[in-house]
Amino acid sequence: MHYADSVADLVGSTPLVRLRRVTEGIDATVLAKVEYLNPGASSKDRIARTIIDAAEREGRLRPGGVIVEPTSGNTGVGLALIAQQRGYRTVFVVPDKVGADRRAILTAYGAEVVVTPAAVAKEDPRSYYSVADRLTREIPGAFQPNQFVNQGGPLAHFQTTGPEIWRDTDGTVTHLVAGIGTGGTITGAGRFLKEASEGRVQVIGADPEGSVYSADPSDPDQVHANLVEGVGLTFFPETFDPVIVDAFHRVHDAESFAMTRRLAREEGLLVGGSSGMTVVAALRAARELPAEAVVVAVLPDHGRGYLGKIFADDWMREHGFDVEEQTSLVPEEVR
Ligand code: PMP
């Protein structure tokens, strides 16, 4: 018999797939690492498992404990599914830019969800960080993983994502492209790949317009809110090591969303907006590279949580984004 003992054992070992159509005119090989094939449908399952294991070992999480975390959704799903397997309850604080579909996923896993305004500073008592801190102080037995500080995040990617990419490309990978939320993916996987390749692998950060990571420090107007979920911060978290990143590509929300829709229609990959953003950056880099280059883009999550946003024509138009025209094959009287 061949089976996993728990969904926690299904985390990681996600496949690489070559992008075939959006890469037209590009000689280099561009591979997508499909993180939605984790059991909670995102790369965040990896950090949830590593962080909960460590908290149990260190005695910060005890039987009957409660996990409280500010999360844009995916970390919550990862934490919820591992927590429920181990008998912990979960409370998640999410900014209101996160869609209702995504919040419903968290409650479906049995978590409690608290919604807070996205458009306030981190220090504001209403911010999702502040509210999570208050709940952690007030709920007995509460443990806050704090994904923006917890070094289990980069460690999980150093121990799993990086080695998987190295193994599955037989060590031929030349470029890693990833978006940056906590920075765990790019820092952990990037560090592993740089070490394994003795510095040969180039690490490229995909960053939305508005994010602090790729902003000109002398121009505060370059840091502002954006619509791509999971990436684009207005502060530098401790889980990001800027030394690992060799170059940034700044991607406009419109380009990110257009590519996200193309990935579903042309590559059969129903993924989230940060995946579209990462592919835009990967293609920009790949366009300048020779045929021998092997570019790996990490696609962090599934598109199911964005059906009412990126994949909804009305939402796209309301937010000023173009929607591709499609002619119908169905006769008018049937539509
Ligand atoms: N995309 C999505 C949809 C995410 O949820 C996250 C994690 N917040 C990221 C990208 C970025 O990953 P990381 O936190 O490892 O930088």
Tell which one of 35, 36, 150, 185 to mutate to probe ligand 1, the residue whose CB is within 8 A of the most ligand atoms. Answer: 185
d(C-alpha 212, C-alpha 233), whole Å? 6
132 and 159 in a single domain? The answer is: no
Domain edge (last residue) among 140, 160, 177: 140
158 and 294 in a single domain? The answer is: yes
Ligand 1 and 74: CB distance under 6 A: yes
CATH number for the domain that contains residue 297 = 3.40.50.1100
The model's pLDDT over 247-270, given as tens digits with 9 standing for 90+, comes to: 999 999 999 999 999 999 999 999
**Minimum CA distance residue for ligand 1 atom 5:** 230
Looking at the DSSP assignment, which residues form a beta bridge with residue 178? 205
Domain that holds residue 127: 63-140
Q: Which residue has the tokens 């984790």?
A: 38
**Minimum CA distance residue for ligand 1 atom 3:** 230
| Three-state secondary-structure class, residue 256 | helix
Contact 100, 130 (CB under 8 A): no
Please check whether residue 323 lies inside any domain of the structure. no
Please check whether residue 312 lies inside any domain of the structure. no
Concerning whether 122 is annotated as a catalytic residue, the answer is: no
| Three-state secondary-structure class, residue 91 | strand
103 vs 52 pLDDT, higher one: 52
Please check whether residue 166 lies inside any domain of the structure. yes
22 and 73 in a single domain? The answer is: no
Name the DSSP letter for residue 306: G
Ligand 1 centre from 329 Cα, in Å?
38
- 292-309 exposure pattern, b = at least 16 Cβ within 10 A, e = fewer: ebbbbbbbbbbbebbeeb
26 and 175 in a single domain? The answer is: yes
263 and 115 in a single domain? The answer is: no
| Three-state secondary-structure class, residue 211 | coil
Per mean pLDDT, which range of 177-186, 228-237, 316-325 is the poorest? Answer: 228-237
Residues 6+ positions from 23 with CB-CB distance below 8 Å: 30, 283, 286
The model's pLDDT over 92-112, given as tens digits with 9 standing for 90+, comes to: 998 887 778 778 889 999 999
Ligand 1 and 260: CB distance under 6 A: no
d(C-alpha 320, C-alpha 211), whole Å? 20
Please check whether residue 188 lies inside any domain of the structure. yes
Please check whether residue 58 lies inside any domain of the structure. no
| Identified catalytic residue from 44, 97, 122, 309 | 44
* pLDDT at res. 72: 66
Domain edge (last residue) among 84, 117, 140: 140
The model's pLDDT over 211-233, given as tens digits with 9 standing for 90+, comes to: 888 888 888 888 888 899 889 87
260 and 196 in a single domain? The answer is: yes
Please check whether residue 29 lies inside any domain of the structure. yes
Please check whether residue 334 lies inside any domain of the structure. no
**Minimum CA distance residue for ligand 1 atom 2:** 230
Ligand 1 centre from 131 Cα, in Å?
21
pLDDT at 73 over 70: yes
Residues 6+ positions from 10 with CB-CB distance below 8 Å: 4, 38, 39
Q: What percent of the chain has pLDDT over 90?
A: 81
| Neighbour tally for 317: CB within 10 Å | 11
Ligand 1 centre from 156 Cα, in Å?
13
229 and 302 in a single domain? The answer is: yes
83 and 204 in a single domain? The answer is: no
Please check whether residue 125 lies inside any domain of the structure. yes
Of 295, 223, 316, 306, nearest to 269 by C-alpha is 306
* pLDDT at res. 218: 83
88 and 190 in a single domain? The answer is: no
156 and 239 in a single domain? The answer is: yes
Count how many domains the chain has: 2
249 and 104 in a single domain? The answer is: no
Domain edge (last residue) among 80, 114, 140: 140
What is the DSSP secondary-structure string of 180-198? -SSSHHHHHHHHHHHHHTT
156 and 184 in a single domain? The answer is: yes
